Amino acid sequence: MHAWPASEVPALPGKGRDLRIHDTATGGRVTLAPGPVARIYVCGITPYDATHMGHAATYNAFDLVQRVWLDTKRQVHYVQNVTDVDDPLLERALRDGVDWVGLAERETALFREDMTALRMLPPQHYVGAVEAIPGIVPLVERLRDSGAAYELDGDVYFSVEADPHFGQVSHYDTELMRHLSAERGGDPDRPGKKNPLDPMLWMAAREGEPSWDGGSLGRGRPGWHIECVAIALDHLGMGFDVQGGGSDLIFPHHEMGASHAQALTGEFPMAKAYVHAGMVALDGEKMSKSKGNLVFVSKLRRDGVDPAAIRLALLSHRYRDDWEWTDQILETAVERLDRWRAAVSRPDGPSADALVEELREALSDDLDTPTALAAVDRWAALQTAEGGSDDSAPGLVSRAVDALLGVAL
Binding site for ligand 5CA (CB under 6 A): 43-46, 54-55, 57-58, 81, 83, 228, 245-246, 248-249, 277, 279-280, 286-288
Of 306, 404, 309, whose CA–CA distance to 352 is shortest? Answer: 404
Nearest approach in angstroms of CB 315 to ligand 5CA is 14
Cα 297 to chain center, whole Å? 16
Please report how close the Cβ of residue 228 comes to ligand 5CA at its closest, in angstroms. Answer: 5
User: E strands, 73-154, where?
Assistant: 75-82, 125-128, 149-152
CB neighbour burial string for 246-281, b if at least 16 within 10 angstroms, e if fewer: bbbbbbbbbbbbbbbbbbbeeebbbbbbbbbbbbbb
Minimal distance in Å, beta carbon 269 to Zn ion? 15
Q: Which is nearer to ligand 5CA, 81 or 364 (CB)?
A: 81
Among 228, 231, 310, 372, binds Zn ion (CB under 5 A): 228
Spatial CB neighbours of 302, under 8 Å, sequence gap ≥ 6: none
Among Zn ion, ligand 5CA, none, the one that 398 touches (CB under a kind-dependent 5 to 8 A) is none
**What is d(CA 200, CA 158) in angstroms, rounded to the nearest whole number?**
6
Sign of the C-alpha dihedral computed for residues 200, 206, 212 and 218 taken in this order:
positive
- Residue 237: CB minimum distance to ligand 5CA, A: 19
Nearest residue to Zn ion, scored by beta-carbon proximity: 43
Cβ(214)–Cβ(138) below 8 Å: no
Asked if 270 touches Zn ion (CB under 5 A), the answer is no
| Smallest distance from ligand 5CA to CB 249, Å | 5
Q: Percent helix, strand and coil across the chain, each rounded to 5?
A: 45, 15, 40
Measured from the CB atom, the residue of 280 and 337 that comes closer to ligand 5CA is 280
Task: Pick the piece of the chain touching Zn ion (CB under 5 A) from 42-50, 84-92, 93-101, 332-340.
Answer: 42-50
Residue whose CB is less far from ligand 5CA, 83 or 383? 83
Q: Does 363 bind Zn ion (CB under 5 A)?
A: no
In the complex with ligand 5CA, the residue whose CB is nearer, 145 or 283, is 283
> Which residue's CB is nearer to ligand 5CA, number 121 or number 396?
121
Rg for the chain (alpha carbons), in Å?
22
Distance CA 289, CA 256 (A): 23
Q: Rule CB under 5 A: choose which of 19, 21, 43, 132 binds Zn ion.
A: 43
Least CB distance from residue 297 to ligand 5CA, whole Å? 12
Diameter of the chain measured on Cα atoms: 76
Residue 58 site contact among Zn ion, ligand 5CA, none (CB < 5 to 8 Å, cut-off depends on kind): ligand 5CA
Which residues contact Zn ion (rule: CB under 5 A)?
Answer: 43, 228
